[in-house]
Structure 1
Amino acid sequence: MTTRHILTWSPAAIVFDCDGTLVDTERHWQDARIRVFGEFGLKPRPGFAERARGVHYTECGSLMAREAGKPQLADDMAQALLRHFMAFVAEDPVTMPGAAALVRLAAGHVPLAVASNCPLDVVEFCLARVGLRSYFAHVVVAGDGLLPKPHPDVYATAVRLCSVRPEEAMAVEDSVTGVESARRAGMRVLGVGPRPAEEGAGRADLWLRTLAEPELQAWAHAWAGGAG
């Protein structure tokens, strides 16, 4: 069961997921997946969009190929997925509701980082396109020895770079995969967006529909105003 106890606490650092949390990219990933399936003349099984949510794009390519019965196309589908995604972001960069305001407020008071399953150039590109890159001291992505979410590596590394203990930091996530990663890293977790149906959604301290929720904005102003 979720609790609003997290909104009575002041984090020493905040680590955000990027896709679907800061930047409205999930629709671009979905459009890219649809485009790739069409390019290859294939169709996903029902419920694929939810299964693909938060999954590293290379793993998503493998998932797409397996579910379409063409596992030999995994690499080709992954590369096509990334290519189409980047094009969609370039055409239509949009932040998630409340994300920009929360980031700008928090950046003046605590260290901020991003932890993502996407390649570094993709995350940097997305953040730059929506004008948020300069607010983050650290961007940590899977690869170079760091396992992707749901492994804790990217969150654990981001917290370490922010020079705080995991229990002092808050993760902001939109997927069960990300929530599990942050929990394994020892962090408190705020879930944002439609609450997933999977059982793992309960691992978040609280789910809110958007980062623009009045209670979240009031909380952020309260602790940021009192921060040293």
Structure 2
Amino acid sequence: MSPAEIAPLLFLPDAVVFDMDGLMLDSERAINDCMARASRELGHDLPDSLWLQMIGGGDGLCRRLLAERIGDDATVELLACTEAMYDVVADAGIDHRPGIVELLDWLVAHGIPRAVATSTRRPLAMRKLAAAGLLPYFDAVATSSDVAAPKPAPDVYLLAASKLGIDPLRCLVLEDSPTGVRAALAAGMTPVQVPDMLVPDDAARALGHRIVGSLGDAQRLLEARLAAA
């Protein structure tokens, strides 16, 4: 994104709320790889497109999509095998998405509060953030364990705003998936999408939110807003 292409955000947010998987951590590729390896080890013939359908949807969606293909019992076995593989990867520290540390450092330097709102369950989310060295950057963490309904329901984003003590209308959300974007919009927040593995389709683009190519571009949007203030 060149300077000429940067239209400032309509407001300087009082807080920035981050999705985790696929936005800050390269975990979508990691979990998809574990699930594909577990599937092969257990003798299931599942298409790569199935893993993409699960991105941003939480545990319930994953279970339903798998059960439709291989049945309930096989799904339980596959997810247990996947979890064992993924635990090893997560505890070793999942790679950062490019630009995340620079953006977080910029927000800290400008005193803008930060929270995580993730579809991952709390114990695993905290382990992943800690192992990746990102947990100290955040003032609050909201997870799927803490709310009644997962994304695209707004619950986890509303909880993140509540934990920060900030009006949802004054929060900027950074998300990689359309599911998360819908959750942020339902919470009354302003989402900026940084796509990872899923290219936004026409339905996603029709939501009318800003879509950028990288976390660096998202940072430049904030810098442009600050300069215009």
| TM-score bucket of the superposed structures, by smaller chain | 0.7 to 0.9
Distance 1:157 1:74, change over 3 A: same
Distance 2:103 2:186 in 1: 25
How far 1:39 sits from its partner (Å)? 2.6
Give yes or no for contact 1:179–1:201 (8 Å, CA) kept in 2: no
Give the counterpart letter for 1:208 in structure 2: V
Looking at structure 1, the residues matched to 193 and 208 of structure 2 have their Cα atoms a distance apart, in angstroms, of 6
Instruction: Please tell me the residue identity of whatever aligns with 1:203.
Output: L
* CA gap 1:144/1:222 in 2 versus in 1, 3 angstroms: closer
Counterpart-to-counterpart distance in 2, 1:198 and 1:55: 19
Report 1:1-228 matches (<5 A): 7-45=9-47, 47-67=49-69, 69-91=70-92, 93-108=94-109, 109-194=111-196, 195-197=199-201, 199-203=203-207, 205-213=209-217, 216-221=218-223
Scaled by the length of structure 2, the TM-score of the pair is 0.86
1:65 and 1:71 in contact (8 A); partners too: yes
TM-score by length of 1: 0.86
Query: Structure 1 residues 93-102 or 72-81, which shifts more?
Result: 72-81
Q: CA deviation at 1:218?
A: 3.2
Say what the alpha-carbon RMSD is for the aligned residues: 2.5
Percent of aligned positions that are identical? 27
Amino acid aligned to 1:114: V
Q: Structure 1 pair 46/217, CA: closer, same or farther in 2 (3 Å)? A: closer
Q: What displacement does 1:87 show?
A: 1.6
Unaligned runs of 5+ in 2: none
Secondary structure (helix, strand or coil) at the match of 2:145 reads: coil
Distance across 2 between alignment mates of 1:167 and 1:75: 40
Alpha carbons 2:8, 2:228 under 8 Å: kept: no
Q: State the shift of 1:143 in Å.
A: 2.6
Supply the AA of the counterpart residue of 1:220: L
Structure 1: any 5+ residue segments left out of the alignment?
none
Measure the CA separation in 2 of the matches of 1:8 and 1:49: 35
Which deviations, in whole Å up to 9, do the C-alpha atoms of 1:2-48 show, x marking residues without a partner?
Answer: x9656342111111000010111111011011022113211224621
Check 1:111–1:204 CA distance in 2 against 1; reply closer, same or farther (3 A cut). farther
The alignment covers a number of residue pairs equal to 222
The offset of 1:115, in angstroms, is 0.5
SS at match of 1:7: coil
Give the direction of change, closer, same or farther, for the CA distance of 1:88–1:52 in structure 2 (3 Å limit).
same
Query: Against the structure 1 CA distance between its residues 54 and 145, is the aligned structure 2 distance closer, same or farther, given a 3 Å change threshold?
Result: closer
Letter in 1 for 2:206: G
